[in-house]
Amino acid sequence: MPGKIEKDSVTGTETTGHEWDGIRELNTPLPKWWVYVWIASIVWGIGYMLVYPSVPYGPGYFHGLLGYSSRSHVAHEVAEVDAKRDIYMKKIAAQPFSAIEKNPQLMQVAETAGAITFAENCQPCHGQGGEGRLGYPALAAGAWIWGGTLPAIRQTITYGIRSGDPQARDSQMPPFGKSGMLNAGQIQQVASFVWSKFYGHPTKGEDIAPGAKIFAANCAVCHGPQGQGNPAFGAPRLASHVHLYGDFRASIVRQVTDPRMGVMPNWNKRLDPATIKAVAIYVHDLGGGQ
């Protein structure tokens, strides 16, 4: 502190006594109440450190007198939300689809729960919006293999397809080529027929009559005389523009010779019945539901 008060001759204000290269600093002090607020903030800070987690030491940290922890706070809030959600999920589990569909609130919960569950579990194969991909059915298109009603979708999700679950949906496409039931020529003939008649790609100057005959004798029993398919056996609809293995003639030949048959896991081991119902509602409302 300056021993003697020195005044600046121009302004008449006291200086602090500090001088740099002949420039002296004027003393224009802060108001006192400002300092008191600052001190009060420090006192508040000490109190805050006492009641809330603050000082770390070696293996742990001081937990504070209130014992607050952001982790348990989150856990508590999650539990609260779970309890709230549970009210609706119980209703979804208990009510039939027809009743849920009439309740906008339950539908909203189901759609949301379904969307989240779908994104976590179904999206890797069926695509983000259920658009499907080669070998994985398109759910949004309405080209259902095992049926697109709400109960049918729930059945498929719950027990899966060829999943090993006792109640799984199961069917076999016979390996017509590999087992020798049809020879290579016959397979080409039936492929030409399906490609032209059902896939909608007219073949030039090719006689599809022999293929039609082979189809009627071997395929129509499951796929239908008009190629309309049969959801009861999971026989895909052939008269369509959406095909499980793509819009390729080679795929038809491959499926007749040595068929690929996909597997869908049974989700009853991983998801509870209410969540499965929610996913069924979400999938149904992607745009292809029946």
In angstroms, the CA 57 to CA 55 distance is 7
Q: x/- site string to another protein, residues 163 to 202, per CB under 8 A?
A: -------------------------------------xx-
Q: Which residue lies nearer to another protein by CB, 115 or 261?
A: 115
Rounded CA separation 215/217 (Å): 5
Stretch that binds another protein, among 39-47, 86-94, 130-138, 159-167 (CB under 8 A): 130-138
Phi, psi for 18 (deg, rounded to 5): -85, 140
Counting residues that bind another protein (by CB under 8 A) gives: 36
Check residue 224 for interaction with another protein (CB under 8 A): no
Residue of 100, 140, 190, 214 that binds another protein (CB under 8 A): 140
Q: Which of 85, 162, 213, 249 binds another protein (CB under 8 A)?
A: 249
User: How far is C-alpha 50 from the chain's CA centre?
Assistant: 44
Least spacing, CB of residue 81 vs another protein, in Å: 22
CA distances from 236 to 135, 144, 173, 197, 240 (A): 12, 8, 10, 15, 10
Binding mask 63-82 for another protein (x = CB under 8 A): --------------------
- Residues 140 and 131: beta-carbon distance below 8 Å: yes
Which letter does DSSP use for residue 204 in this model?
T
In angstroms, what CA-CA distances link 120 with 98, 130, 140, 149, 162?
26, 13, 17, 23, 22
Residue 56 or 205 having the CB closest to another protein: 205
Residues written for the chain: 290
CB of 236 to another protein, least distance (A): 11
Q: What is the token pair recorded at 139? A: 């759910």
Considering the complex, state which of residue 168 and residue 278 has its C-beta at the smaller distance from another protein.
278
**Taking CB under 8 A as the rule, does residue 34 contact another protein?**
yes
Q: Is 5 in the site for another protein (CB under 8 A)?
A: yes
